[in-house]
Structure 1
C-alpha cells in the first residue's frame, strides 16, 4: 500500500506513539493515521481529479462507440456551435409520451404537426481538436398541444429533455444523454431517460444538407419511463452557403414565363424583403393548365403522391436582408384550406433558396425535393434541384387578379426527362397583401354596376353620417339566409380597393394617399361623391359549399348604399388557368346603417342571369353587426362607467349589510323575525358570482376580450378591486346569516318561530323550483327554434342552459324580500326585523342595473364582445319588459315590508285572515 512521505517531525512523533502506546492509544493513533491519510491524499490528488474528464452519467455506456468522451475545457466556446441558437425541425413518433387524451378536458380537431426545437446552452472545446462537449434542451411539440386544454399535470409548451454529450466535427455525429419528465394517463410522474443521436451535424451547410437522428429511451422495455424510438429531421442553419442562387440569376430563372418588368413592383432599398415573406399565413392557390389531373406531367412530385396539390405554403428558414436572399420550406397540400398547423410531409416539400432579381423585379427560387421513407427520417436526403419558382408583386390589380403576390413554378428539365412537369401558376391566398407599396387597382366592370344599380333616391338615413369608405367599418362578417329567411351559411366581406388605391385595412400593405379617391368634382364635398370600390366576399353555404365572389361597384357615403356587380369563377375551389371565364351576372346591394345607430348591415345577392344557366342561384340575403369604430370608443367609455358603477354598488352593499349587522346586535329581539331563507338567498347571490369570477383573476391576457386587451392594465386592476369589495360584501352577508342562525337555534323554546320558517320554506321552494323548470323549458324551446330567429347570430351563439339558470338566479335575487314577506305573514308581528336602511338600500342596488340597462340599450350598440362590467345579461333577465317589471315588483316588495313592520304582517290581507292566531312576542334575554 502506498503511503505518502511525512515530514521528519511528524515521523518521529509517529514512531514514539506507535512504540510506547497502550491499546486505547493505538486505536486513537489508528484513527489519526486514517484522518491524516485522507487529508494528505485529498491535498495531493484533488488537482489531478479536477483536471480529469468530467463524467456524464451513462455516456460511455451508450455513446462511446459514436463519439468517445473527451476532457472539456472550463471556458465555453463561442465561435464553434453545432446549431443556431434555436434550431427547428420535425419528428415522427412519440405518441406514447406526447398524446394523453384522457388528461384533456376539451379537444379541438386539428391536423398533427410535430415540431422539435433544440436550444443550445453551452459548447466546450476538449483535448481532442474536433470534439466538443454540448449542453442543450430538446423540445418536442405537436399541434394538438395548441388546442388541448390541459390539466396541471400535462405539458403545455412541449415535452422537454435536458441532454449533454459530445460532437465530432470530422464525422458529423453528435451523441447526447439526458432525461425529461411527463405524467402518465393515470397522473403519475414519469422520468424519461433518453439517448439522442444525430448525423450530419457540420460547421457549415448547403441546400443539400439535412440533419437526421433518433431519440431513444435508455430504459429497458417494459419500464414506466420507456418510450418507442422517435425519428428526427432538421434543416441546418449554421454558416449556410447559397450555392444555387449564388450563380447568375439569368441562368437560375431561365425557362419560366416572361413577365414585363413594369407589371411588377420594384423592391426599394427601404423596403424589407424579409417582412414580405415572413408571415405565417403566406399561402398560395395553385392554378394548373387545362386538362391537368394527378399525372406526372402536371404534378411537381410525380404520380407517386396520389393527388394534385391545391395549396402551396412558405415557411421562412433564413433571410439575409443585405443580400436579398432567403431560404424556404415550400410545402404542397391536398386541401383548399390549410392553416399553420398542417402536418409536415417531406415527400411533398421543397427545400429552396431564392434571391431578388432587380432586372426582372422578381424573386428567383431554386427548389430541391426531399426523398424520404414513410415511417422514418433516417434515410431522408435532398436531390433533384430542378424545380424553379418566381415570385413577384403585381403593379396592377383587377377583378381577375386580387392577389398581392403571384408567380409560377416550372421544371428546368426537358419535357421527356423524368421529373418534368408543366408550368403551374399560383396566387396569394385570400387577398394576402405583402408590405410592398405602389399597387394600383384597375376597374373593368364598374360601368356595368352603374347601369344596373338604381338611381340615388332620398332615404330615411339621408343626411346622417355613414361609414367612411376608407375606414375599417366597411369590413364585416355576415350571416347568409335564403329566400325563406333560413340561415344557410356565414362568411366575411372586405374591401379590396377604394378608388384606384389598394385598401389600407390590410395590416401588411403600405398604401400611398388612399384619400386620392376623394377628388372634388363641380364644387361638391368629398363625402358626397360616390366612390368606385372593389370588394371580396367569401362564404360557406350549408357547411360544405364554398363561394368566393369578387365585385366592383359604387358606394354613396351620404346614404350608406353600396351597389356592386359580382363575378366568380365556375369552380372557386379549382381554378385551372388565368384564361378561365368569370360569371359576372351577380348583383349585390348593401345598406350600411348610420354610425350612431344600432341597426344591422343588410344586403342582398341576386343572380341576374337566365334560370337555365348552370350557375344560376336563388336570391340570398345577409346581415351583419354594424360594430363601427365609434362604437368601439363608446364601448371603452361604457366599460369605464360600468366599472365605476360596480364599485359604487358593491360598496353600498357593504354599507347596507354592515349596518344591518350592527342593527341586530343592538336589537337582539329581532333575530327570530328575520327570514333565514332570505339571508341564504342573499349570501348565495354574493358567493356564486365570486366563485365563477375568481378564475378570471388568473386568465392570461391573450384569452381576454379585445376591449380588455386595449384598455391596458386599468380594467384588469379595477376588476380585482371590484372582486375584493364583493368578497367583503359576501363576508358581511355571511356574518349576518351566522348571527341569525345562531340566535335562532340557541334557544330550544322557539319552536313557533321555527315552524314559521318551515312554512316559508315549504311555500317558497316549490315556487323557486317551478320557476327553474320554466327557465329550462324556455331555453330548450328557444334553442330548438333558434334557426328561425331574426337575430343574425342567434343560431351561431345560442344561450346555454347554464346562462339561463344564472339569469333565473338573478331574478330570484331581485326578489330577495319574498321569503321575508311570507315570514312576516306567518308571524303577524309588527317587529322591525329589518332596518329600512338595509332592505330599501339593497332593493335600490338590485334595481339600479335594470334602469341602467334601459339607458344602455338606448344609447349604445349591443355589445358582442362580452365586455359587460355591470348589468351582465348572463347574470339576470334584461330586456325592456323585464327592466320595467322587475323594478316595479322590487319596489312593491319593499313597500309591503315597510307596511308589515309598521302595521303587522297581515295588514294588507282581508280581515278574516288577519284574525288568525299570531305568535306572541317572547322576550329575549340579553347577554348583560
Structure 2
C-alpha cells in the first residue's frame, strides 16, 4: 500500500496526495477506535445501539478548575490536590441519537496535561549511581467512544491514547471510562463522577492505576432549590443598600469565573484551633483555614441565580487551573439580592469515601458578600461579607459568624461606581510644608502613568506603589493610565501624557497602596522592630496612604496606615514624602522618598525613618528610549555589515596573495571567531523562537524590536560564517606548508605561550576584583542605578573581560610578527583597520550616550542593544583607553608589515633581526 501511495503521489497532483493522506489518517483513527471493543467491556453498563442521526443535546464539559481527580500515578506522577496536572473532558464530535430511546452515542476526548518528573531505573545500574531522571511533560489524550443513557445517568466509553514506555518507546494505553451524569439535576446530583481504568494487565507496560474523577460542570437543566427556599424564608444580611454598590447579576458572577477569588477569614479575637465552635471545617482539615476562595461554576443567562464552589484554604492564591479538594470545599447556590445589593450563597458539604462515592449534604452553610461603595484610608476592602451556619450552638458542626474581606490584588473584583472619601488630608497638611513651584519646570501630572513606581529601602525591603484614586476618579480607569499601560503602548500616548503647563499644576488629592516585600527571613533590628508585626505570612507589608500631589513642584506627601496584625488594629501615625523628578531632569527618573513614624520615640509602635529609592518612567523617557533603541539597532547592523565587508576583503586579499595566509595568527582568528559565535549561542532563541522580555512588554512595540533583533542575529551569523571561513583557509595553508618561511608554527606556539598567560592573569584579576566586591558589599540590591552598576557577578566580570580581549584582537598578530620577524603583509589594511573601528566605535558611542541619554530606570537593564555594558568594559576612562589602544595596535601592524616585525623594539633587537636574515654561504 505504501508503494502504491508513493507511485500515485509521484504521478498525481499535490491535491490528490493531500486527499490520500487525509484518507489514510481517517483510516488510522478508525482503526485506533475499533481496536478496543465496546461490547466486550461496556455492554453490561449501556448496551450498544445503532445511531440514527444527530441529536440536539449538549453533553457536559469537564475542566480542571471545576474538578478533582486522583490516581494514575504511573502515568501522571504522584497524586494529590496540589497536582500540577490539568484535565478536561469534552465531546470531540456531534452527539448522536440511537434506536434506543434516551441512549446517545458519543465520541469524546479526555486529556491530561502532565508536568512531573519521573524516575526510571537504569539497566546495569552500578552501586551509588542514582536512576535516570526524565522530565515527562505533554498532553496525554484519550480518544473515546461509547454510549450514555439518560434514564440511568450512566455512561461507558472505551478508547486509547498514545504515550511512551519507560524506555521512551511508543506505547498505546487502552482504557475504559465509566461515568455518572444526570441531565436534570439539583444540588444533590449536579456533579459528574467517573473512573478511567486501564484495560491492560497490571504487569503490562501500558497499565496505569485507576483515575477517579469528580466534577461540577455547567448544566442546562438545573433547579435552584436551596437558594429559592432560603430567600423565601428571608436571608439574614446586615447591610444598608446605600453603602454598597449595585450591579447586574451576570457581571457579579463573571467576576468569579476567571479563577478562584480569595477572601481573608477574620475570626474572633478569642478564636483558636482548640475552640470547638471556631472554624467552619477545622474538624475535617485538622487546621483553621485562613482564606476561602470562590469560583462560579455557572452564571445566569437570565435571572439572578448562579452556582459556586467555595474552597477553604491557607493560601491567598489558588491559581487559574487549580483543582479543588472535596474535603475542604462547599458547593453552593447563589443569588444577587437586589434589595440589599448583596450576593447570598447557600453552601453544602461534599462528603465522600472516594471520588467514586460522592454525596452532597449538610447544607447549613450561609455566605453573604457585598461591595462597599466608598473607600477610605482605613477601609479599602474590595468586598466584605460573612460566613455562618443556620445550626444552633448545641448542634454538631456549629460555628460562629466569621467576617470575610478581600483586599488582595488577586482576582478581578472591580465593580464600577466606587468612590473615595479623603479623611486624612487635614492632618497631612500640618505635617507637610508646602514647596514653592520652580519656574519653567515640568513634572508628571496626577493621572499619568508616571505616578506608579517601584521602590526599595536599603537593607530592608523592595516594593511598589500604585495610586488608587486621583481626586474623585479611579486611577486604574483613567484614559491616561490605560493608554500608558502595557496594553496601550507608549507610541500611542505621547500627546496625552504627563508633561503639563504651569496652568494645570494644581495640587490634587491622591490615595495610594504601597507594598513592601521583605528581603529575607531575618527580622528587623532595633529602631524598626515594630514594623515586624505588620508583615504578613508572605513577607508583605501594606501601607494605605492618602495625601496631596503637587504637579507644580513634583512633591507627594501622604499620611499612611499599616495593619498591626492583632485585633484588626492599625497604626496611622505614619507620614510619607516623595519628590518626583522633572520630566526632562538630569537625575534619570529617580524618586527620592522617606517613610517615618510621627509617634514619640518611647512609643512601642515608633520606628526610625526609612529612606526610599524609587523609580519612575515617563512617556518622554519612553519615546527617547525607543528612538535610542532604533539608533542602536541601526548601528549594530552597520557595525556587523562593516565586519562582514572587512572579512570579505581579507578573504579576497588572501586568495590574491595566497602566501600571506600562513602569516596570519591563528590565535587572533580564533578570538575573532569566538567573538561572533558566543553572542549567537547566548541569543540563539532570537533566531527561531519567540522571546518574551520585559522591554517588549513595557514598550508594547508590536514585534518591531524582535524582528530587528532577528535581522541583527542573521547579520552576526553571516559574519561568523565568513570569519570561520577565513580561519579555515589560514589553518589549511598552515598545514599544507605553503609558507616560504620555516618555523611559522614555532612562532605561533610562542605567541600562544605568551598571550595565554597574559589572558589568564587578566581573568584572575577580574575574579579577585569580583570576590573583593562581593566580600565588602553585602548590602542588598536596590533600584539605584549607581549601585546596580557597581554590583557585578563573576560571570558579568568575565564576560566584560572577554570583550576586552576581543577589543585587543591584534595583540596575537603583533606577537607573531615579532617572533617571526616578518615583513609579510599578512593582513590587509581594510581588514585590520575596519575591524578595529568595529570594536572602537561602541566606546565612542557610549561616551555620547552617557552625556545625551538618561536611560529609564526600569528599562535600563534591558535596552542595551549596542555597546552593552555587560559585554565589555564601559566607562569614561575605558571608553578612551580601549579605542586608543586599538588604534595603537593597528598602527603597530602597519609598521611591522612595512618595516619588519621587530620595528617597535629597541635598535639592538632589530639588528638581531637583520643578522638572522643574512644568508650564510658555505665555503
TM range (shorter): 0.7 to 0.9
How far is the alpha carbon of 1:155 from its aligned partner? 5.6
- Partner of residue 137, structure 1: 109
Q: 1:847 to 1:504 in 2, by over 3 A?
A: same
Separation in structure 2 between the aligned mates of residue 791 and residue 255 of structure 1, nearest angstrom: 51
Q: 1:312 to 1:476 in 2, by over 3 A?
A: farther
Instruction: State the Cα RMSD in Å.
Output: 3.5
- Partner of residue 743, structure 2: 752
- Partner of residue 100, structure 2: 128
How far is the alpha carbon of 1:539 from its aligned partner? 1.8
- The answer as to 2:595 corresponding to 1:605 is yes
Alignment of 1:369-388 (within 5 A): 369-373=349-353, 376-388=354-366
How far is the alpha carbon of 1:499 from its aligned partner? 1.9
* Secondary structure of 2:357's aligned partner: coil
Q: Confirm or deny: 8 A CA contact 1:175 1:198 kept in the other structure.
A: yes
- The answer as to 2:803 corresponding to 1:810 is yes
* Secondary structure of 2:41's aligned partner: helix
- Partner of residue 42, structure 2: 63
Separation in structure 2 between the aligned mates of residue 248 and residue 232 of structure 1, nearest angstrom: 31
- Partner of residue 11, structure 2: none
Which blocks of at least 5 consecutive residues in structure 1 are unaligned? 1-53, 102-108, 146-150, 482-486, 512-523, 924-928
- Partner of residue 764, structure 2: 773
Q: 1:299 to 1:338 in 2, by over 3 A?
A: same
- Partner of residue 204, structure 2: 223
How far is the alpha carbon of 1:356 from its aligned partner? 2.1
Q: 1:253 to 1:116 in 2, by over 3 A?
A: farther
Deviations 1:276-332 (A, max 9, x none): 333436322222333222344332225333222222222232222543443222222
How far is the alpha carbon of 1:210 from its aligned partner? 1.6
Deviates more, 1:860-869 or 1:822-831: 860-869
- The answer as to 2:447 corresponding to 1:443 is no
Separation in structure 1 between the aligned mates of residue 223 and residue 588 of structure 2, nearest angstrom: 58
Separation in structure 2 between the aligned mates of residue 663 and residue 849 of structure 1, nearest angstrom: 27
Q: Confirm or deny: 8 A CA contact 2:187 2:225 kept in the other structure.
A: no
- Partner of residue 117, structure 1: 88
Alignment of 1:509-588 (within 5 A): 527-544=504-521, 545=535, 546-571=540-565, 580-588=568-576
- Partner of residue 125, structure 2: none
Separation in structure 1 between the aligned mates of residue 800 and residue 81 of structure 2, nearest angstrom: 35
- Partner of residue 818, structure 2: 825
- The answer as to 2:299 corresponding to 1:319 is yes
- The answer as to 2:483 corresponding to 1:504 is no
Deviations 1:250-297 (A, max 9, x none): 53762232x11111122269x944543334363222223332223443
How far is the alpha carbon of 1:121 from its aligned partner? 0.8
Q: Confirm or deny: 8 A CA contact 2:192 2:214 kept in the other structure.
A: yes
Q: Confirm or deny: 8 A CA contact 2:564 2:570 kept in the other structure.
A: yes
- Partner of residue 22, structure 1: none
Separation in structure 2 between the aligned mates of residue 144 and residue 273 of structure 1, nearest angstrom: 36
- The answer as to 2:218 corresponding to 1:237 is yes
Q: 1:700 to 1:743 in 2, by over 3 A?
A: closer
> Which among 907, 912, 915 is matched to residue 911 of structure 1?
907
How far is the alpha carbon of 1:543 from its aligned partner? 3.0
Which blocks of at least 5 consecutive residues in structure 2 are unaligned? 1-32, 118-131, 484-500, 522-534
Separation in structure 2 between the aligned mates of residue 335 and residue 434 of structure 1, nearest angstrom: 18
Separation in structure 2 between the aligned mates of residue 452 and residue 536 of structure 1, nearest angstrom: 20
> Which among 391, 398, 404 is matched to residue 369 of structure 2?
391
Separation in structure 2 between the aligned mates of residue 244 and residue 868 of structure 1, nearest angstrom: 63
Q: 1:274 to 1:204 in 2, by over 3 A?
A: same
Q: 1:100 to 1:351 in 2, by over 3 A?
A: closer
- Partner of residue 24, structure 1: none
Q: 1:676 to 1:100 in 2, by over 3 A?
A: farther
- The answer as to 2:661 corresponding to 1:671 is yes
Q: Confirm or deny: 8 A CA contact 2:67 2:213 kept in the other structure.
A: yes
- Partner of residue 251, structure 1: 232
- Partner of residue 342, structure 2: 362
> Which among 317, 328, 353 is matched to residue 348 of structure 1?
328
Deviations 1:70-117 (A, max 9, x none): 3334x443425354799952212333322399xxxxxxx995355421
Separation in structure 2 between the aligned mates of residue 758 and residue 704 of structure 1, nearest angstrom: 46
- Name which one, 1 or 2, has greater alpha-carbon Rg: 1
Alignment of 1:400-415 (within 5 A): 400-415=378-393
How far is the alpha carbon of 1:337 from its aligned partner? 5.6
How far is the alpha carbon of 1:921 from its aligned partner? 8.5
Separation in structure 2 between the aligned mates of residue 625 and residue 679 of structure 1, nearest angstrom: 44
- The answer as to 2:830 corresponding to 1:853 is no
Separation in structure 2 between the aligned mates of residue 281 and residue 682 of structure 1, nearest angstrom: 55
Alignment of 1:149-168 (within 5 A): 156-168=137-149
Separation in structure 2 between the aligned mates of residue 654 and residue 782 of structure 1, nearest angstrom: 39
- Count of aligned pairs: 828
Separation in structure 1 between the aligned mates of residue 362 and residue 439 of structure 2, nearest angstrom: 65
TM-score by length of 1: 0.82
How far is the alpha carbon of 1:398 from its aligned partner? 0.6
- Partner of residue 583, structure 2: 595
How far is the alpha carbon of 1:817 from its aligned partner? 0.8
- Partner of residue 44, structure 1: none
* Secondary structure of 2:213's aligned partner: strand
Q: Confirm or deny: 8 A CA contact 1:114 1:344 kept in the other structure.
A: no
* Secondary structure of 2:228's aligned partner: coil
Separation in structure 2 between the aligned mates of residue 488 and residue 425 of structure 1, nearest angstrom: 32
> Which among 890, 895, 908 is matched to residue 894 of structure 1?
890
* Secondary structure of 2:631's aligned partner: helix
Deviates more, 1:636-645 or 1:154-163: 154-163
Separation in structure 2 between the aligned mates of residue 98 and residue 213 of structure 1, nearest angstrom: 17
How far is the alpha carbon of 1:491 from its aligned partner? 2.1
Q: 1:553 to 1:315 in 2, by over 3 A?
A: same
- Partner of residue 875, structure 2: 879
- Partner of residue 40, structure 1: none
Deviates more, 1:869-878 or 1:225-234: 869-878
- Partner of residue 783, structure 2: 792
Deviations 1:482-532 (A, max 9, x none): xxxxx2322222122222333226999999xxxxxxxxxxxx956433222
Q: 1:361 to 1:632 in 2, by over 3 A?
A: same
- Partner of residue 331, structure 1: 311
How far is the alpha carbon of 1:396 from its aligned partner? 0.8
Alignment of 1:66-215 (within 5 A): 66-73=45-52, 75-83=53-61, 89-99=67-77, 111-112=82-83, 114-122=85-93, 123-141=95-113, 156-183=137-164, 187-202=168-183, 204=185, 206=187, 208-215=189-196
How far is the alpha carbon of 1:705 from its aligned partner? 4.6
Q: Confirm or deny: 8 A CA contact 1:492 1:538 kept in the other structure.
A: yes
TM-score by length of 2: 0.82
- Partner of residue 840, structure 1: 833
Separation in structure 1 between the aligned mates of residue 63 and residue 357 of structure 2, nearest angstrom: 26
* Secondary structure of 2:460's aligned partner: strand
Q: 1:530 to 1:393 in 2, by over 3 A?
A: same
> Which among 416, 433, 442 is matched to residue 454 of structure 1?
433
How far is the alpha carbon of 1:754 from its aligned partner? 1.7
Separation in structure 2 between the aligned mates of residue 402 and residue 323 of structure 1, nearest angstrom: 30
Q: 1:882 to 1:371 in 2, by over 3 A?
A: farther
Separation in structure 2 between the aligned mates of residue 232 and residue 851 of structure 1, nearest angstrom: 66
Q: 1:309 to 1:665 in 2, by over 3 A?
A: same
Deviates more, 1:200-209 or 1:321-330: 200-209
